[in-house]
Structure 1
Amino acid sequence: METSVLKHIGILGGTFDPVHLGHLTLAQAALKECNLDIVYFVPAGEPPHKNGHLITPVEHRQKMVELAIQKHPFFELCNFEITRQKPSYTVHLLNHLRHKLPGTELFFILGADSLLEIESWYHFEELFQLSRFIVVKRDKSTDTELLNRVAFFQSEFHASIQLIHGVRMDVSSSEIRSRTAEGQSILSMTPETVQDYIKQHGLYQSETKGYANEHQ
């Protein structure tokens, strides 16, 4: 899709080690409920918060994302963080996209648990000036803590935050790695093309590789 016609761009970042159906469900919910033109999947190159942990080489993580989204016409890979020669923070990504795509609205997609931790992110205040936020709740219950934080960010930083409900997916990248290392099935956890890639390249065969637990 030509960037000149894009007006509302969703951004879903993560280590994607590996990408799984929860990521795809998150992106699809945001795409549908917020009328986005496209969702960019942004694999991390050198995630700052993963220092001290081994991460699968970026070429594998990028390829798995490509395989996972290849049949989704409104999903696209963004390799900004992959090609960056140093650790990249979300604020760098959003600044890059704002300059590259003038006239578009950016919508940063994340789960409710991530929003509750966002004050620990690098220059988090600036993020609210660079992008709108789409926060996907895992269920329809009212979360007082979440609503309080949303109200605080809106009041203090004039943040634009839209809460939407996504289909609950009890799956994480760390669980996929663990199950693969133990020789267990990961059927229905990640697309078949990604399952095949993991098998072909012998990824996640050992439980002792020190991977960091993460859900995005």
Structure 2
Amino acid sequence: MKKIGILGGTFNPIHLAHLYIAYEAKSQLNLDKIIFIPAGSPPHKKNQNIVEASLRYKMVYEAIKNYEDFEISDYEIEKKGFSYTFETLRNFKDKDNELYFITGADCLVNIEKWKNPEEIFKLSKFIVFNRPGYNKDELETQKIKIEDKFNTKITFLDIIDLEISSSMIRERISEGKRVDFFLSKEVLNFIKENNIYNYKNIK
């Protein structure tokens, strides 16, 4: 039985905190591999300005290509319509694997608003990492509430809180500020070469 971590996201762009979270999840949970799944059309971000999927896919590919047991899937990009987590998990679940869905504290807080959350818990083990701005005591209360409601077990990852976000990186680029502190050199070079987020404004 293979233990597979599923790490989805818009990855607009993928940054060092994403890589750190994936590495810690693989290490702490003894996973066989992590699959990064860039979102195609995320329903909760349909009104936001998101770089086209092919560029986000390539940025993820560049970020993870030198990491053993990190893989990328274009499942949600190639899928038509909105990308729902329960459908993605259905696609990757089979009798020979055990899925670990890795997500942030914001998702734990809002999981009851997601489509078919009960199926998400049946298809995978729910792994949560903290995000800056979330109170850990309140998250523990929410964890217990969700576990009781859906008869499931939620695991918190023990990680350092890194205050890096894709939105912050995009904002810094728009302001002409350097972002090489937050991105792998492969992703930074790809952004430069393709002038993503109007990177040419950086001095």
**Fold shared per TM-score above 0.5:** yes
Which ranges in structure 1 are unaligned for 5 or more consecutive residues?
Answer: 1-5, 207-216
Find the residue that maps to 1:165 and give its secondary structure.
coil
Which amino acid is 1:109 matched to? I
Deviations 1:162-210 (A, max 9, x none): 112112211110111111122211012010111111111111128xxxx
Which residue pairs with 1:40 in the alignment?
35
Kept in 2, the 8 Å contact 1:138–1:166? The answer is no
Which amino acid is 2:102 matched to? I
Alignment of 1:168-207 (within 5 A): 168-205=161-198
Quote how far apart the aligned CAs of 1:54 are.
2.2
Which ranges in structure 2 are unaligned for 5 or more consecutive residues?
Answer: none
Return 155-164 or 65-74, whichever deviates more: 155-164
Deviations 1:31-70 (A, max 9, x none): 1110000011000011111112221011100000000000
Let me know the Cα RMSD of the aligned residues.
1.8
Which amino acid is 2:13 matched to? P
Alpha-carbon distance in structure 1 between the residues aligned to 2:113 and 2:131: 22
Kept in 1, the 8 Å contact 2:64–2:71? The answer is yes
Find the residue that maps to 1:27 and give its secondary structure.
helix
Alpha-carbon distance in structure 1 between the residues aligned to 2:42 and 2:131: 25
Where relative contact order (Cα < 8 A, 6+ residues apart) is larger, the structure is: 1
Normalised by the size of structure 2, how large is the TM-score? Answer: 0.92
Quote how far apart the aligned CAs of 1:137 are.
3.0
Match 2:126 to one of 103, 124, 133: 133
Which residue pairs with 2:90 in the alignment?
95
Alpha-carbon distance in structure 2 between the residues aligned to 1:191 and 1:170: 16
Find the residue that maps to 1:54 and give its secondary structure.
coil
Normalised by the size of structure 1, how large is the TM-score? Answer: 0.86
Which amino acid is 1:66 matched to? Y
Find the residue that maps to 2:56 and give its secondary structure.
helix
Match 2:113 to one of 99, 114, 120: 120
> Going by fraction, where is helix more abundant, 1 or 2?
2
